[in-house]
Structure 1
Amino acid sequence: MKQRRKIMIVFGTRPEAIKLAPVIHELERRADAFQTVNISSGQHRHLVQPVITLFRLRIDHDFALQRHDQQPDDVSDRVIARLIPHLNHESPDLLLVQGDTSTAVGAAVAGSLMQIPVGHIEAGLRSGDDMRPFPEEIHRKRITKLASYHFAPAVNNRSNLLSEGVPDSRIFVTGNTIVDSLMKVLRGHTASLRIDRIIAETSMLKRIVLTMHRRENIPQLERTFLALRRFVNENKDVCLVFPVHPNPAVRQSAEILRGEARIRLIEALGYSDFIHLLLHAWAVVTDSGGIQEEAPTLGKTVLLFRAKTERPEALATGTVQLIGDSPDALRLALENLKVRGPLRGSLRSKTNPFGNGGSAQAIVDIVENLWEGTHESIESALFQRAQRADRIRADSV
């Protein structure tokens, strides 16, 4: 009889939960091969809980670590302290972490200390600047040094890892699991009445969807938001919808947007509602990481409010424009967009560089074969044209 392997999965933020959900489900689907232990650190407890509910994730342990005004190192240290006893008790065969959060790096450290192999999902992203984004770029590099297995979303990420001395035999190009989750939401969930109402009430306007929360952008948020307010005020056919991040600094700066009839400040949305809002966007202004993957998959124009990106694949789609991180650059990019129209990307005619929705299956296939010592090449299959998100979108709205 085949031995069941115990896999521990640790996450604590909304993006981690979204991207790990399809992996968790695929592991659970193969109950004859795997036993899973799912741990939430509670790093961003109020943001992650709706994702846990949406994807019906079983949580075996919740550390509830969130504190007011918490710092990245504090979170990592508390994750290490809380996780080590569980690793000692459970003795998993593999510990899976995702991305570049304080939870991920803390879990990777704990796994390394307990000599548990660590698998890093979304490995190999690099911006080339430790301060942009901070501290994520530092976290990524640290996790790379600790991980035994590296699940890289794209070929470029594999090249980054190879350049840092990671053995080729430990790197697997799997696509990005965000596409799996995005397609699941489009197929199986509809927008709430709240989002339907916003869409109906702005039906004659060009909708700009705004997300902004990066630590490095906070010092200039008020000037950035003022530039957006002026653009909306001067263009009567434009509106702005801003799901405001709960970060107190973001919320305080967002007050400068109040009082303009065509600007809507709303509370942070659940993942399904946010995706359905993106579906109806004329353009997206963001400093986010994940939206660089989601919006191009949906064929949406993105003005990326950053100086650098760790996702050059997004720029290559033609739908994402790296505009820099100054309010003046944002204003100019919006004015150009208004004149020239939305960016015309390449995903309608080419494959999605983030995968085709089969990334979780690819990752679990590899994990299942780790103890067999065999790994078939999956790169070509993952990036073949599948049912495109824009086609699913047309069936969903």
Structure 2
Amino acid sequence: MIKTLIVFGTRPEAIKMAPLVKELKKDFHFDVKVCVTAQHRQMLDQVLEIFDIKPDYDLDIMKYNQSLFSITSDVLLRFEKVLEKERPDIVLVHGDTTTTFAAALASFYFKTKIGHVEAGLRTYNKYSPFPEEMNRKLTAALCDLHFAPTKRAKLNLMAEGVKEETIFVTGNTVIDTLKFTVKEDYVFKEDSLTNIDFSKRIILLTAHRRENFGKPLENIFEAVLKIANEFEDVVFVYPVHLNPNVKDVAHRILKDHPRIKLINPIDVDDMHNLIARSYLVLTDSGGLQEEAPSLGKPVVVLRDTTERPEAVLAKTVVVAGTSKERIVEIVTKLLTDEEEYLQMARAVNPYGDGEASRRIKDALLYHFGESSKKPNEFRGSDKYV
């Protein structure tokens, strides 16, 4: 059996790794163990419960207002003990979090093979997003296998000297997750969502990036306030991140508006079904740029850069930055120009077909000699390079 140790620490990682955990655990070739760092605690636990994933190891590192220094050092030191006990054939990490980089570094120190899920995303600006851009670049340098979601991501890796035979284009596992979560007859668990008037145009807002702390976040919230005041048929729903750098500013600027609903963080079931019932999405997140287009929802990205340019080329996403005026201009266009809206809503999602986890499993079987057939690549992103 292939001893496989899967590591993640945040809610977005858990959402994207859950279908892979399920896929590998049902195959007799794999002995799968799960380690969570709990870089996020409450939000991570929600996902684990929904997918019925019981971690074999919980490093429980989260601290109030934690720093990147403490996250990195705590993961590095605590994960060493897990590696010593398990001695896996391969460690699988995801994406671009500090958990990802620190776990990959620890695995490298232990001379253990590392596989990187969602490899190859780049903005080529080391401070945008921060610290994610450098987390994923440094992780790539440490890894043995690279599971790129798109052809562009593969080309990014090859341009950095990664050998082509170690790269597998799989699609993104988050599209796999939607098959488990989105239901037409879904009933929201969060009470605040059951009271929303879905006959109005719902705009889902998420904003939490470190590089947006301070003035950029204030600009985003002021733009939202202006849009809400100008469009009486619009309701904003904002699951507010627990970080005080986000929460305090959101409540100061937005709390008193009757059509801006500031709610607690919601679990992945509620989130995916909320996207499905929304008119459009405003976000500085990465995952929502992949999820929303699969559900036919235009995405306005509240960042100056995106590591997902395929979505921009496919016209499912538009990058607004954090200028109040620019955000208002773009959202107003989507609310008033039906042709513009439908062009985005009907665009083809370049990120996957719901089979990414199976492709990753097949790539692992091929790499470890359990299969002689190299898996077919996901081709849905080929024209967006």
TM range (shorter): over 0.9
Q: Secondary structure at the match of 1:240?
A: strand
> Hey, what does 1:216 align to over in structure 2?
211
> Hey, what does 2:309 align to over in structure 1?
312
Mapping for residues 251-330 of structure 1, pairs under 5 Å: 251-255=247-251, 256-330=253-327
Paired AA for residue 301 in structure 1:
P
Task: Give the structure-2-normalised TM-score.
Answer: 0.93
Paired AA for residue 62 in structure 1:
D
Paired AA for residue 149 in structure 1:
L
C-alpha contact 1:296 1:317 (8 A) present in aligned 2: no
> Hey, what does 1:87 align to over in structure 2?
83
Offset of residue 380 of structure 1 = 4.9
Q: Secondary structure at the match of 1:9?
A: strand
Cα distance in structure 2, aligned partners of 1:267 and 1:117: 39
Cα distance in structure 1, aligned partners of 2:332 and 2:178: 30
Task: Give the structure-1-normalised TM-score.
Answer: 0.91
* Structure 2, gaps ≥5 residues long: none
Cα distance in structure 2, aligned partners of 1:70 and 1:371: 38
2:338 matched to 1:343? no
Question: How many corresponding residue pairs?
Answer: 378
Q: Secondary structure at the match of 1:379?
A: coil
Residues 380 and 113 of structure 1: CA distance in aligned 2, closer, same or farther (over 3 Å): closer
> Hey, what does 1:175 align to over in structure 2?
171
> Hey, what does 1:393 align to over in structure 2?
none
Of 140, 147, 167, which residue of structure 1 is paired with 2:143?
147
Q: Give the superposed CA RMSD.
A: 2.0
Of 229, 235, 240, which residue of structure 2 is paired with 1:233?
229
Cα distance in structure 2, aligned partners of 1:77 and 1:153: 29
Paired AA for residue 203 in structure 1:
F
Cα distance in structure 2, aligned partners of 1:209 and 1:155: 29
Q: Secondary structure at the match of 2:88?
A: coil
Residues 240 and 166 of structure 1: CA distance in aligned 2, closer, same or farther (over 3 Å): same
> Hey, what does 1:202 align to over in structure 2?
197
Cα distance in structure 1, aligned partners of 2:100 and 2:83: 15
Cα distance in structure 1, aligned partners of 2:46 and 2:326: 35
C-alpha contact 1:297 1:347 (8 A) present in aligned 2: no
Mapping for residues 97-176 of structure 1, pairs under 5 Å: 97-176=93-172
Q: Secondary structure at the match of 1:8?
A: strand
Paired AA for residue 79 in structure 2:
L
Cα distance in structure 2, aligned partners of 1:9 and 1:194: 30
> Hey, what does 2:31 align to over in structure 1?
35
Q: Secondary structure at the match of 1:208?
A: strand
2:16 matched to 1:48? no
Q: Secondary structure at the match of 1:343?
A: helix
Offset of residue 65 of structure 1 = 0.2
* Structure 1, gaps ≥5 residues long: 385-397
Paired AA for residue 351 in structure 2:
F
Q: Deviations over 1:86-135 (max 9, x none)?
A: 21221100000001111111110011000000000000000111111000
Residues 218 and 183 of structure 1: CA distance in aligned 2, closer, same or farther (over 3 Å): same
Paired AA for residue 317 in structure 2:
V
Moved more, 235-244 or 118-127: 235-244
Q: Deviations over 1:171-195 (max 9, x none)?
A: 1101100000012112598232546
Offset of residue 202 of structure 1 = 1.7
Moved more, 117-126 or 340-349: 340-349
Paired AA for residue 18 in structure 1:
I
Mapping for residues 7-46 of structure 1, pairs under 5 Å: 7-30=4-27, 32-46=28-42
2:28 matched to 1:61? no
Cα distance in structure 1, aligned partners of 2:226 and 2:9: 37
Cα distance in structure 2, aligned partners of 1:201 and 1:380: 38
Q: Deviations over 1:41-80 (max 9, x none)?
A: 0110111000000011121010100011211232121111
Offset of residue 262 of structure 1 = 1.1
C-alpha contact 2:171 2:378 (8 A) present in aligned 1: no
Q: Secondary structure at the match of 2:31?
A: strand
C-alpha contact 1:299 1:345 (8 A) present in aligned 2: no
Q: Secondary structure at the match of 2:214?
A: helix
